[in-house]
């Protein structure tokens, strides 16, 4: 059984809301959001493409998830117009816990140390939840974006 089976079962289009916890002003902003889940390469990968908005400006992102059976490692490559600009964040994780696939990456925050980023994807029969966390260098985690979807 692949760790991606739950996500593969979520193939299709989803509608919901995304809530961004703005670290600059401490205000949460909710927007309409959509997501499309697509198995890739005969189910060896799953791509999640999503769209949302912030301050009235459209945003979009994509997360490509994989599973390496031999090492039991989840892999992810994340791009996002709001958070990453023109960079790809490579992520890795372990087997799903309670159905949630979690991957972690890092980004530069000069002049200080790199910060971490965690993405949790929880598939369900009629729901899909994607939660992003900003991870301080010392390990403290803060909610960044919480997206909850139902089948369109």
CB-based contact 132:23 (threshold 8 Å):
no
**d(C-alpha 108, C-alpha 39), whole Å:** 31
pLDDT of 140 higher than 80:
yes
Question: 23: which strand partners?
Answer: none
pLDDT in tens, 80-117: 998 888 999 999 998 888 889 999 999 999 999 999 99
Long-range contacts of 104-110 (CB under 8 A, 24+ apart): 104/135, 105/76, 105/78
Report the pLDDT value the prediction gives residue 66, as an integer from 0 to 100: 96
Q: At which residue do the structure tokens 């960044």 appear?
A: 144
Q: At which residue do the structure tokens 């809530």 appear?
A: 19
**d(C-alpha 117, C-alpha 144), whole Å:** 9
Reported pTM = 0.94
Mean pLDDT of the chain: 94
Report the pLDDT value the prediction gives residue 81, as an integer from 0 to 100: 94
pLDDT of 41 higher than 80:
yes
pLDDT of 1 higher than 60:
no
**Section 5-21 average pLDDT:** 96
Torsion of CA 64, 65, 67, 68, to 10 degrees: 40
**Section 12-34 average pLDDT:** 92
**Section 36-55 average pLDDT:** 96
Residue-range domains of the chain with CATH: 5-151 (2.40.128.20)
**Section 127-149 average pLDDT:** 96
**d(C-alpha 102, C-alpha 106), whole Å:** 14
Q: What is the chain's alpha carbon radius of gyration, rounded to the nearest angstrom?
A: 15
At 116, give phi and psi (nearest 5°): -100, 165
Distance from first CA to last CA of the chain, Å, rounded? Answer: 27
pLDDT of 48 higher than 80:
yes
Within a 10 A sphere around the Cβ of 78, how many other Cβ atoms?
22
């Amino acid at each position: 059984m692949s760790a991606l089976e739950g996500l593969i079962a979520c193939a299709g289009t989803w509608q919901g809301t995304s809530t961004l916890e703005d670290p600059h002003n401490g205000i949460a902003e909710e927007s309409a959001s959509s997501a499309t889940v697509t198995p890739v390469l005969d189910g060896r990968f799953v791509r999640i493409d999503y769209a949302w908005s912030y301050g009235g400006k459209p945003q979009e992102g994509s997360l490509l998830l994989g599973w390496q059976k031999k090492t039991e490692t989840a892999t992810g490559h994340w791009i996002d117009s709001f958070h990453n600009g023109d960079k790809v964040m490579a992520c890795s994780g372990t087997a799903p816990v309670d159905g949630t696939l979690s991957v972690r990456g890092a980004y530069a925050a000069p002049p200080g140390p790199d910060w971490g980023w965690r993405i949790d994807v929880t598939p369900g029969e009629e729901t899909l939840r994607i939660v992003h966390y900003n991870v301080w260098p010392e390990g403290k985690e803060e909610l960044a974006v919480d997206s909850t979807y139902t089948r369109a």
